[in-house]
Structure 1
Amino acid sequence: MGHITKSSWVPSVTLRVDAEGVEPAALLLGADGRVRGDADMVFEGQPVHPSGAVRHEQASLVLALHEVEAAVERIVIAGVADGGTLTALAPDGATVASYRVPGSPDATAVVFAEFFRESGGWKFGGVGKGYGSGLAGLVTEFGVEVAEAEESSEPAVAGPVPLTGVVKMPGQAPSADGAVVSAGRFPPVDGAVVHGGPFPSADGAVVSGGPFPSADGAVVPGRPFPPADRPYQLVEGWEFGPVFEAFTITGDDDQVVTVDGRVPPGPVLVEAAHEDRGYFGVFPLNSKNKDEEYLFNTTLPDFTGSSVVPAPEGRALRLRVRADRRWAMRVKPVAAARRLEGTLRGYGPEALLYTGGVADLQVHFEGDEDGGGYVGIWCHEVAGHTRLTDQPTLLLNRTEPQRRTVPLPEGPLLLLYKADGPWTLTVDGLDR
């Protein structure tokens, strides 16, 4: 189907990729030719990659090639179609690559082309491979697990398929008894595999969802409201906090959540999402069933965030949720939080793990919708500790948009980052 053209160099800038009325999808692949997690598929139903480097916008894909993570070797462009012409445009509107795939009556989905690394840059190559099994069969070839379609008398609607999870989640972490637990899957007592995980993450983990800053500084709408259960991975070698099977719950108004017995005492990660606009707050309850200091207290639209709270000894962790809209929450090991290295983007508060040496941290906080907002960073040095330090180091405490540099001590560190809008963090290591 189609023909293979000689590959050509493309500039490592932000490109817009269109495919003649087709809703395109991008698959970010590692050196093994497979996705690392379900966040590595960007399409209409999941429009922002955790790194922010690949986005789906208005029936197009935006690829910031200069921001793609080093672990990504190829970006495959596909769509629900039997053919068509794929075009990649530079920021000035000039066409830098184009490839035509002739239609075929046997194909319902097609891989149009791919971008791949070579000699420190990026090349474009046409592929033109059709799939009679549709997009579901296409993405399965690259390591994506697709949900089984339910039987229905209604005709099938062409478009992106629902995803239940993705294979190829590397890394391992020790469990409490010393056994090795594969990242992203925690076997309960009965041996069944249960998925949990971030709303999604980068460097393996997940960036909190919500708007992300584009290359020109504009805010891009985030992914849709996350499902209650998604895979995640642990940061390899991180030893702070217990390892356990994730706990997930959803709701649509005020509720008191009692976390079940799968969550042991010690510091745990809490991720939360709140749909649309309105107020969202989460408050741990103490032994007297009274609110303690809040975990989340926000009116950010399409909020997603994470923080760390100590699960108490001798009783269940209880959280009071106040919400105007639908929400989801996950309680997971701290080791499942996103790792801070290189450049990281996010939206709202997030718990971050730092395992590098002394460094400078460049902070760019874009502010909230009204041009204000708060940004703060608390640093917990966790080496040799089993609980959060009573007096963490306050690295940043400001209001309004900021561009600042703060010093980081040597890791391992747990950074509790609080922000009322989109942000970018860049780690600059220091030579010693």
Structure 2
Amino acid sequence: MIKGGNAFVPTVPLRIAVRTGVDVTALLLTEKGRVRGDADTVFHGAPVHPSGAVRLLGEESGTVWLEATLTAIEEGIERVLVVGSTESGAMRDVHGLSVEAFAPDGTSVVWYDVTDAGGETAMVLAELYRRAGGWKFRAVGQGYLNGLAGLAADHGVDVAEEAHAAPMPGAGPVPFQAPAPAPAPFQVPAPPPAQAPFRAPAPAPAAFQPPPPAPAAFRPPPPAFQAPPPAFQAPPPAPPAAFPPPAFQAPPPAPAPAPFQVPAPAPAPLSAPVAAPPVPEAAVPDRSFGAVFEPYTQTGRDNDVITVDGLPPGPVVVELAIRGDGYTGLWPLTRFNKEGDTLVNSTEENFQGRVLTHVPGNGRLRLQLKAEGPWQLRVLPLAAAARLTEEELVGGGPDVLLHTGGTADLVLHYRGDDNLIVNLYELAGHDDPTTLPEDDNVVNEIGKRREAVPLPEGPLIVHLEMADGPWRAQLKRVQPHSGPSTGGLAGVTDIRTAQNRAWWGRR
């Protein structure tokens, strides 16, 4: 598995091997990406989670073993991070750094080799996270130059100013405030006579067995996030006069929606405004950029489920703006009313951005939104996305961009503090307009940076899947297209014309 890749794993007790020679910590996170308290941190000073679901088993020949009993993880926990850290030196000095998960019978389920570690002293190596009623494994590889203390603080762990009796390994001068140790010291028991030894790929002594269940004194803390009761109903949208400030207004009824107003404060606009042409009489099919359709706009407040009927099947752009400083989450709902892959997972104040999702064959798009404050959501045709050119494009937050020329280099300047994740979708040769090809993850980094990404020939979707701050994008060394482009709307040779025909999708 490469960095950024993910795959489903069986919902069984997994043995996770972290090689070689790093200290290992596990963080159990809620849907907000934070621990509920110090007890949700598993490390050598507290090797067993109070629920007994996650255990640090010990080290054998440079390999640290962790066990995650997925069926026992509490409902309030959405993700389990596997963290590696060093007490001296950097992660790049660790040779053979990898994470591998095994089923109970010793079968290897997933394997991730960390090949691009740098000067960090702590790194989120991988994570297990809930998806569609099961669990998936993601190869993360995100390093922290400020060490384990910085990583822990970013996920809600209380970091004390004074040393603790059992400091977290690798935390440096600002030690980790560890949870209270287990009542009994952690010991690796001898195997029971009737139990077959665990078959790991590396030889391990027969005595290497998981610890006994957590003592009865351990009781899991209540989940930090509790779903609203069934009687909960999202309040109706507040009248425009109630929105502070008046810049964020719901569009009044009109033949065509009013231009989208970004809540203040906000980064520079994603593109320059364009004069609105008349709405096309009918949708125009396009096998590369999807159908052109009249956008759907809805405003509301706080948590809600949005349903849009009558859309053409295939990829679409969802634009979301929130006026508030709480958690923002957005997921498509499957036909079983289960959450699909996460579209938005942010704690940014006044979140705004565009993400890519897919309308199923029945033409009904259902989205679950978790938000605190007034919001506006729009569903836009893919052809409305901004086009990448040699002129600098300025934006902020996640976005969906199009490249239609020949080979080029995409230069990105990112000024955010958290993740920057960029995926490419090559549409050339993809003949089904109702689906997307497999994505190619080209950037998965943390913090301010400059990235140069070689782009193949268009048509191509560049999806800034995650970005929490302002960015600038520009093409360099653009080459002529080698042959007839498969992009563009039927009867339209210039993508700018296509974008003007779908003007309502751009601010």
Report the TM-score range of the alignment, normalised by the length of the smaller protein: 0.3 to 0.5
CA radius of gyration, larger in: 2
